[in-house]
Amino acid sequence: MEPGFGRMLYSREVIDDRVKQLAAHVTGVYRGQPLMVAVVLRGAFIFAADLVRHLEEQVDISFVRVRSYGDSTSPQHEPVVRLPDDVEWRGLHVLIVEDIVDTGRSLVALRNALRDEGVASVRSCSFLDKPARREVDCDVDFVGFTLEGSEFVVGYGLDVAGRYRNLPYVATLRPDDPTD
């Protein structure tokens, strides 16, 4: 770990175990029903790659984007969803795979966009959940780890300004305050 970088929250080993448990849970819920995994770029790419290799259903994969606009460009700061145009969503059972659910706005926007496309069902699986930061009502069906506070975290796909996505573990951004 880089000196002064931050505290490791979840090691590679802990993540591996949890991802296997999650995959077993997802497999049990779908019970052999084919599913379309919608990976939210870019943060969820590592989690999704690990998760799908433990799923026992027939799985297709697509990549979606959700871009959040700041207050300055959009008063309601509604996230903008971009679905790939080569997927026929109608009738599919879709599992959204996210890196982290924070305010919940991205997930709600994506779920609504998929419902508008006529999917048969939509569930969500997020590697991390930060319920303390929630601004909109939004349940996540499968959660890897729940963060109690509002701390910003990086690694295992999650970035800050494009950095640290490739860390194999999850860490906090700032070193612990020695006076804590």
Near Mg ion in 28-57, by CB under 5 A: 43
Nearest CB to ligand IMP, comparing residues 104 and 144? 104
Active site residues: 102
- Two structure tokens written together for 77: 């700061």
39 binds, options ligand IMP, Mg ion, none, Cβ within 5 to 8 A by partner type: none
145 binds, options Mg ion, ligand IMP, none, Cβ within 5 to 8 A by partner type: none
Going by C-beta distance under 8 Å and a sequence separation of 6 or more, which residues neighbour residue 121?
93, 94
What does the binding site for ligand IMP look like in residue numbers (CB under 6 A)?
43, 68, 79, 98-107, 152-154, 158
**Residue 7 CB coordination number (10 Å):** 14
- Site size toward Mg ion (CB under 5 A) is 1
State CA 50 to chain mean position distance. Answer: 13
102 binds, options ligand IMP, Mg ion, none, Cβ within 5 to 8 A by partner type: ligand IMP
CB 95 within 8 A of CB 37: yes
CB of 7 to ligand IMP, least distance (A): 14
Strand 59-67 to strand 93-101: parallel, antiparallel, or no bridges (unpaired)? unpaired
CB of 1 to Mg ion, least distance (A): 23
Is the peptide bond between 18 and the residue preceding it cis, with omega within 30 degrees of 0? no
Residues engaged in binding Mg ion (CB under 5 A): 43
